[in-house]
Structure 1
Amino acid sequence: MLVHPQFDPVAINLGFIQIHWYGLTYLAAFGMFSWLATRRIQQAPYAAGGWTPREVDDLLFYGVMGVILGGRLGYVLFYKPSYYLANPGEILAVWKGGMAFHGGLLGVIVAMAVFAWVHQKRFFEVTDLVAPCVPTGLACGRVGNFINGELWGRAADASLPWAMVFPQSGSEVARHPSQVYQFLLEGMLLFAILWLYGRTRSAHYRADGSILWGRVSGLFLIGYGTFRFIAEYFREPDSFLGLLTMNLSMGQWLCVPMVVAGIVIWASAGRRA
């Protein structure tokens, strides 16, 4: 069996300030988004739509605000509402941990709607641009989870070549390195699917040549929801929640409306004027 190396969560210690690996992975995620989005506005149909690198910078700013505020509020509301209701002063204590992807997604959706309104863009035009640039950021986040030795997997057969003991779990049980599974599925594989699909003509044009919006966004919701649902079978449920109805985790239940919404958005994109 492998044993998690228990990295020091502090990457750089200058005495008066500490820079954590998790913070660096967030920085890498935002950097990757900026680079990919700058390349994406050079592709059809964005190249003819007047998008500029300055708008990409603005888009990143809105997205960062959405990720941080939405991710934190999502964790508070979806996972520990009673605790934070009793301790409202800790809601903003993000340095103590606690971010939820589904909350971050809702935060980004609101941020993209505000960006679209301010810059007079179509909402799905903005989200179709953003969608393929997001999974690499998710992959960076899973690297941070692995370095921190958090969000470990469920018990695995000790004969599994990549089964790993996470001492942080308080046991010597061999577990699935679920952070790696999520890095590969909702990170790298989802990125490859969306980036390649986003370059095809059918993703943005109807048969008559007119532009359509929403298919890339819909595929993102379908892809992430499906991959996360699968990965949750290998990830240890939160101890304070456990498994819910039908032996599904909170993460899996939150993925169900994502997939349904994705199917509706993708299917209706070609018919929407």
Structure 2
Amino acid sequence: MTTLHQIDPIAFGLGPLQVHWYGIMYLLGFGVAWWLGTRRVRQGRLPGVNEQAFGDLLFYGMLGVVLGGRLGYVLFYSFDALRQDPLMLVRIWEGGMSFHGGLIGVVVAAWWWSRRHGLHLFDTIDFVAPIVPPGLGFGRIGNYIGAELWGKPTGGGWGVVFPNSDLGPYTGAPIEQLRALHASGALDAYARHPSQLYQATLEGLVLFIALWWFSRRPRPRYAVAGLFALLYGVFRFAIEFVRVPDADIGYLAFGWFTMGQLLSLPLIVLGLFWLWYSRRQPTLAPAKAG
């Protein structure tokens, strides 16, 4: 039995202020990152760094995620829309964030913080990498709740009918009518892959388990960052096959190659290179937090 998506993207209202689930997912992601990162600091996984310094790193990382993610989304996916509506750049609560842009923002923030604390950039990135996936998972759940970035049609019973997607003759029908049509099975042909949940599972849960297990003992510099880049790139590239590309971009080549896959290829290459390069790099031994 397919599922009809009926989740309100607004969690609750406080007078004129509307709190979206998308924003709550970001807060959850940052909260889990703070909890996991604090544990790693107490374990001495980044020698000379205490909890206060890590708090600064997390703050800079939050700015990098939000600013880089939004700028990346606009530049990579919606540049034409920006020219028509410049204010869309600041309406983050409506959704529209790019992982690749957010990643660049986090790297810039980590570089700035590392420079201030006299640390090698990749010691910081290796420390941060295992605490990032939960935030990615929560973000994809936010995409699902907001009924955005859905997948291609599927004949499987796990498919989801998104009311704002292409429903043929029923496109734009009231939700009450869609409920009745769905109960009768008339909408099953329009059910889609819940690609947001696929990504939440792979980029969030699986990536977290792999990185947390891999980094449970000291690894050479670049190794943890390399595994993160490689696995994320592979997961994202694979899921793009069942995900609908952005309407204003479509497929870039071959009738299947998307912008998401294009942006993931450098991550796969970098991940493989960093894993190879790490074999000749020093291993940062844990120490008591400073």
Specify if TM > 0.5: yes
1:117 paired to 2:112: no
Q: Deviations over 1:73-93 (max 9, x none)?
A: 101111122332454444333
Higher relative contact order (CA 8 A, sep 6+): 2
Kept after mapping to 1: 8 A contact 2:45/2:127: no
**SS in structure 2 of the partner of residue 226 of structure 1:** helix
Counterpart in the other structure of 2:4: 4
Cα shift at 1:101: 0.8
Kept after mapping to 2: 8 A contact 1:4/1:149: no
CA RMSD of aligned residues (A): 1.6
CA distance in structure 2 between the partners assigned to 1:188 and 1:6 by the alignment: 25
Counterpart in the other structure of 2:266: 257
Gaps of 5+ in 2: 168-186, 283-290
1:25 paired to 2:33: no
User: Of the candidates 198, 221, 246, which is equivalent to residue 238 of structure 1?
Assistant: 246
Cα shift at 1:166: 1.1
CA distance in structure 2 between the partners assigned to 1:242 and 1:188 by the alignment: 29
Cα shift at 1:177: 0.7
Inter-CA distance 89–44: structure 2 relative to 1 (3 Å threshold)? closer
1:197 paired to 2:214: yes
Gaps of 5+ in 1: 205-211
Kept after mapping to 1: 8 A contact 2:95/2:143: no
**Structure 1 residues 44-123: aligned runs within 5 Å:** 45-46=45-46, 49-123=47-121
Which has the higher Rg, Structure 1 or Structure 2? 2
Inter-CA distance 150–4: structure 2 relative to 1 (3 Å threshold)? farther
Kept after mapping to 1: 8 A contact 2:203/2:232: yes
Letter in 2 for 1:259: I
The number of equivalent residue pairs is 260
CA distance in structure 1 between the partners assigned to 2:253 and 2:227 by the alignment: 27
Letter in 2 for 1:19: V
Cα shift at 1:45: 4.3
Cα shift at 1:15: 1.8
1:161 paired to 2:161: no
Cα shift at 1:61: 0.4
TM-score, normalised relative to structure 2? 0.85
**SS in structure 2 of the partner of residue 232 of structure 1:** helix
